[in-house]
């Protein structure tokens, strides 16, 4: 399901420490003092505890990094890799329906086959929204099988 809150806090703390070291501050106390921060609060932030988005944003501004760009890095790290079973299930659906990717996509209300191509190339997994749409248009295929490969195909 992605990253747990505690794990995310630890990663944020480790990233703050890394940024401090890259900025040339070997001591958290000197960094906090130089930037008019509470030494105790900053220490706890680097340990991954006791911080708010407001305090995190303040630290990131010192490093000239937006909070959006900061979290974008974690978003990239936590994306689950597409799994081969999604490729297999979409291929089975296309074979069973004897349809091209484009015809299949259009039957689902998609304007092109990009979403299906992304799944077949392994870039994306089947989303719950897509699985629902497939089951809605082709009720012979079961939602849980389309999404997770659970149960029978039909």
- Give the C-alpha separation, 42 to 32, whole Å: 7
The structural architecture, per CATH, of the domain 5-78 is Orthogonal Bundle (1.10)
Second-level CATH architecture of 84-148:
Orthogonal Bundle (1.10)
Q: Given the structure tokens 């001591």, which residue do they identify?
A: 27
* pLDDT for res 1: 43
Topology alike, domains 5-78 and 84-148: yes
Length of the chain, in residues: 154
CA distance 53 to 57: 6
pTM: 0.50
pLDDT digits over 90-144, tens only?
999 999 999 999 999 999 999 999 999 888 888 888 888 999 999 999 999 999 9
Domain chopping of the chain, boundaries:
5-78, 84-148
């Amino acid at each position: 399901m992605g990253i747990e809150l505690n794990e995310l806090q630890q990663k944020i703390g480790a990233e703050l420490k890394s940024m401090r070291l890259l900025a040339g501050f070997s001591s958290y106390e000197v960094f906090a003092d130089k930037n008019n921060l509470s030494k105790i609060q900053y220490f706890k932030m680097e340990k991954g505890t006791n911080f708010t988005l407001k305090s995190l944003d303040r630290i990131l501004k010192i490093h000239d990094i937006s909070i959006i760009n900061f979290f974008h890095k974690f978003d990239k790290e936590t994306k689950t890799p597409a799994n081969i079973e999604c490729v297999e299930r979409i291929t089975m659906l296309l074979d069973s329906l004897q349809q091209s990717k484009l015809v299949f996509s259009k039957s689902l209300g998609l304007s092109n086959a990009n979403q299906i191509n992304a799944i077949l190339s392994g870039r994306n997994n089947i989303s719950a929204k897509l699985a629902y749409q497939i089951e809605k248009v082709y009720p012979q295929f079961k939602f849980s099988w389309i999404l997770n490969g659970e149960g029978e195909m039909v």
